[in-house]
Amino acid sequence: MAYDEGLASVLRDDLIGRDGISEKKMFGGLCFLVNGNMLCGVSKAGAMFRVGKENEAAALAIDGAREMDFTGRRMGGFIEADDDLMGDDDRRAQMLALALDFVGPMPPK
């Protein structure tokens, strides 16, 4: 599994103390889950957040965010974050809040 351990560590720190958080290696990277539902993750390409389609516009308004395309196809509700966004505590917190807003209410898997 090739992913940026530094980015994984940053997200780990951001998620400390939240209930239901787990990690799972998948898609060639590391995903963070809330009660078994994918929240965000890191791969060799960078970081991604699952914000849901209703939060997409707000997420894309954050500098450093872009639509995610996995294997050449756009993935609705998923956002890629560049290194600059991931290095900015405020913008990363905004992105994580949008993802938690979407994933948090989902029933556990």
Nearest to 33 by CA among 53, 52, 12: 12
Q: Which domains does the chain have, with CATH numbers?
A: 5-103 (3.90.1150)
Burial status of residue 31 (CB atoms within 10 A of its CB: 0-12, 13-18, 19 or more): buried
Number of residues in the chain: 109
Q: What's the token pair of residue 6?
A: 């530094």
Note the pTM of the prediction, 2 decimals: 0.93
pLDDT in tens, the chain (109 residues): 578 899 999 999 999 999 999 999 987 899 999 999 999 999 888 899 999 999 999 999 999 999 998 677 788 899 999 999 999 999 999 999 999 999 999 999 9
